[in-house]
Amino acid sequence: MADPTRRDLISIDDLDDEELRRIVRRGEEYAAGRLDGELPLEEEVIGVLFRKTSTRTRTAFSAGALRLGARLITYGPGDLQENTGETVEDTAAVLSGMLDVLVARTAGSEAELRALARHPRMAVVNAMSAAEHPTQALADLTTLARRFGRIEGLRVLYVGEGNNTAAALALALARFAGTVLSLRTPPGYGLAPDILQRARLSAGRTGARIEERHDLVDLPPVDVVYTTRWQTTGTVKPTADWREVFAPFQVDAALMARCPGALFMHDLPAHRGEEVTAEVLDGPASIAFEQAENKYHSARAVLEWAAGRR
């Protein structure tokens, strides 16, 4: 029986402004412990499919589902018959008759996730695809809201590849009035043009600003410096000399000194000595591990929303 209340989260742009804010607020409520003991998903069966490695996202959604009372089925990269040639459409038809929500990290195309989501009985949550990492952005918004008491008007400097984390962050921050996201991406490794266009479309509507440059000169005043791993999970760089191109974009103490008062965020996992020095990641301005914990709080909010329980 189709359940019209179930909702898919493949992209941040699947959420309207109110839904986005509601998930962030609910994540804050979970973080504050105000909802402890509630079991809104005790009738749900949730599938967790990870074809790629994960520490935070897989644990956040698995622990979150269990804490909310759901029962869990987990699939690793070699478990489904897709490995022996079954189509994604057939897989979706079967899983949607048995699961309420599927949390999936395919690291493949958005089209594959949309194919998995074609049956309204089962909601699909993108736990990271090649193009976008929407649940990371929701956890990041929760982190900003908890730290600053607001998201509107915050200024974020993103340093590093315009990868799936950067894409979701741009689409998410663009929804908040007065927010400024300054992307400083290595030449040839910028944000995908369609994502930049979509983020700027939202920004034009809300009064946010999304800027991108390929150098680190003339840094604006910012509240947060954000970076991600140079080797995005499940991807390979197209050029052999990529490390030389990325080297000037390391976040070190000198760069942080150019951003007085700024906090440091990182979606993790990190490679100390590559995209960030140990001094910064483990230093007093870093909230990277608080950000990681917020993935758990935010995952519970996402699951409730996807299952149509909020």
Tell whether residue 161 is a contact of ligand CP (CB under 6 A): no
Structure tokens at 72: 């869990």
State how far the Cα of 156 lies from the Cα of 35, in Å rounded to an integer.
30
State how far the Cα of 288 lies from the Cα of 308, in Å rounded to an integer.
30
Closer CB to ligand CP, 180 or 302, in the complex: 302
Closer CB to ligand CP, 96 or 286, in the complex: 286
Tell whether residue 87 is a contact of ligand CP (CB under 6 A): no
Helix (H, G, I), strand (E, B) or coil at 86: coil
Which of the ranges 108-116, 243-251, 266-274, 278-286 carries the binding residues for ligand CP, by CB under 6 A? 266-274
Smallest separation, CB 64 to ligand CP (Å): 13
Of 140, 161, 267, 275, the residue at the interface with ligand CP (CB under 6 A) is 267
Tell whether residue 128 is a contact of ligand CP (CB under 6 A): yes
Which residue in the shown chain puts its C-beta closest to ligand CP?
A: 57
Going by C-alpha positions, the residue among 165, 208, 173 that lies closest to residue 189 is 165
Q: Cα(first)–Cα(last) distance of the chain, in Å?
A: 20
Binding mask 37-56 for ligand CP (x = CB under 6 A): -----------------xxx
Closer CB to ligand CP, 180 or 263, in the complex: 263
State how far the Cα of 147 lies from the Cα of 149, in Å rounded to an integer.
6
State how far the Cα of 95 lies from the Cα of 92, in Å rounded to an integer.
5
Helix (H, G, I), strand (E, B) or coil at 67: helix
For residues 305 and 22, is the Cβ–Cβ distance under 8 A?
A: yes
Smallest separation, CB 141 to ligand CP (Å): 14
Q: Where are the alpha helices (DSSP H) in 56-184?
A: 56-67, 88-95, 110-116, 134-148, 164-173
Stretch 57-86 residues interacting with ligand CP (CB under 6 A): 57-58
Closer CB to ligand CP, 74 or 233, in the complex: 233
Smallest separation, CB 226 to ligand CP (Å): 12
Closer CB to ligand CP, 182 or 291, in the complex: 291
Which of the ranges 4-12, 62-70, 181-189, 264-272 carries the binding residues for ligand CP, by CB under 6 A? 264-272
Pairing verdict, β 180-184 and 263-266: unpaired
Of 233, 242, 245, 310, the residue at the interface with ligand CP (CB under 6 A) is 233
Going by C-alpha positions, the residue among 215, 218, 223 that lies closest to residue 260 is 223
Closer CB to ligand CP, 231 or 233, in the complex: 233
- Tell me which residues touch ligand CP (CB under 6 A): 54-58, 128, 136, 233, 267-269
